[in-house]
Amino acid sequence: MIVIRLLNSFFLVPKFHLPLKKIFKKTDMSNKVITLHYNLFKDNEAGEAIESSTGKNPLTFLSGVGQMIPDFENNVVNLKAGESFSFGIAALDAYGEPTDEAIVELDIEMFKKDGELMEEIALGSMIPLQDQEGRMVPAKVLAINETSVTMDVNHPLAGQNLHFTGEIVEVRDATDEEISHGHVHGPGGHQH
């Protein structure tokens, strides 16, 4: 969800099938297009700041299609423009706990360009991988050998309790087209 927006400036590796990924369940919530500013902290409002939309474009998303953490949607879906929010989400209801299954060994050829390993592939680097559904998944490089690169695709916030504060900028009903596409059209969304 939100953290993926941080990766817009990263480079892309070729599409491949990720063995494990956190997919949020679709909710039975109404389909609204919600635009909001948010601040994300570790544990509580006094915790370390992880991310914020302050000074940037607000976040726009379509509710009810599994784009966001369900508890995040639950807490903002009934708010009106101008209303503020502050709520916590336990790790298990957010990105879950880290698992060993999310440590994956990938063919090194996937990360070569003109026969050379891309310079971004270095121990400890965070690499955005694109999954089979076109979503970006951040991966940490754990090991590199002659034939493979081992990556940790646990979400960087796995195991972390989260706290969000912020304010609703705009709320509108989604169009039928947006609902059938599963994403927002227009400002803050797809332009097609």
Residue 140 binds Zn ion, judged by CB under 5 A: no
Q: Closer to Zn ion at the Cβ: 88 or 189?
A: 189
Radius of gyration of the chain (CA): 18
Q: How far apart are CA 32 and CA 65, in angstroms?
A: 10
In 63-135, DSSP assigns E strands to: 84-89, 103-107, 112-113, 116-117, 126-130
Indicate the residue whose CB is closest to Zn ion.
181
- Which uninterrupted H or E stretch holds 39? strand 32-42
Among 21, 135, 140, 181, binds Zn ion (CB under 5 A): 181
Residue 179 binds Zn ion, judged by CB under 5 A: no
Residue 187 binds Zn ion, judged by CB under 5 A: no
Cβ neighbour number for residue 54 with a 10 Å cutoff = 11
Q: Closer to Zn ion at the Cβ: 63 or 160?
A: 63
Looking at the DSSP assignment, which residues form a beta bridge with residue 104?
151
Q: How far is the CB of 62 from Zn ion (least distance, A)?
A: 10
Q: How far is the CB of 182 from Zn ion (least distance, A)?
A: 8
Residue 190 binds Zn ion, judged by CB under 5 A: yes
Q: How far is the CB of 167 from Zn ion (least distance, A)?
A: 27
Residue 15 binds Zn ion, judged by CB under 5 A: no
Give CB contacts under 8 A, 24+ apart, made by 115-123: 117/144, 118/11, 118/13, 120/11, 121/149
8 Å CB contact between 175 and 109: no
Q: How many residues bind Zn ion (CB under 5 A)?
A: 2
Q: How far apart are CA 96 and CA 94, in angstroms?
A: 6
Q: Closer to Zn ion at the Cβ: 172 or 190?
A: 190
Q: How far is the CB of 180 from Zn ion (least distance, A)?
A: 8
Which of the ranges 87-95, 99-107, 128-136, 183-191 carries the binding residues for Zn ion, by CB under 5 A?
183-191
Q: Closer to Zn ion at the Cβ: 48 or 133?
A: 133
The binding site for Zn ion (CB under 5 A) comprises 181, 190
